Amino acid sequence: MHPTTGPAEYDASSLESLQSLENYLAWIRDAFGGDLRGRVLEVGAGTGNYAAAWVDRVDEAVLLEPASAPRARLVERFGAHPRVTIVGGGVAEALAGPLGAPGGALASGSFEVVTLVNVLEHLDDDVGELARLRPLLRRDGALLLLVPALPALYGSLDALVGHRRRYTRAGLGATVRAAGYAIERLEWFDVAGVVPWWLVGRVARARSFDGPLGPLYDRVVVPIMSRVERRHAPPIGKNLLCVARPLVGPATSPEAP
Give me the CATH topology for the region 13-246: Rossmann fold (3.40.50)
Q: Could you give phi then psi for residue 188, rounded to 5 degrees?
A: -70, 155
pTM attached to this predicted model: 0.91
What is the percentage of the chain residues whose pLDDT exceeds 70? 89
Choose among 203, 228, 200, 202: nearest CA to 213: 200
| Backbone CA torsion sign across 12, 47, 63, 145 | negative
Q: What is the pLDDT of residues 29-88, one digit of tens each?
A: 999 999 999 999 999 999 999 999 999 999 999 999 999 999 999 999 999 999 999 999
What is the distance between the alpha carbons of residues 16 and 32, in angstroms, rounded to a whole number? 23
pLDDT bucket at 17, cuts 50 / 70 / 90: low
Q: Domain extents for the chain? A: 13-246
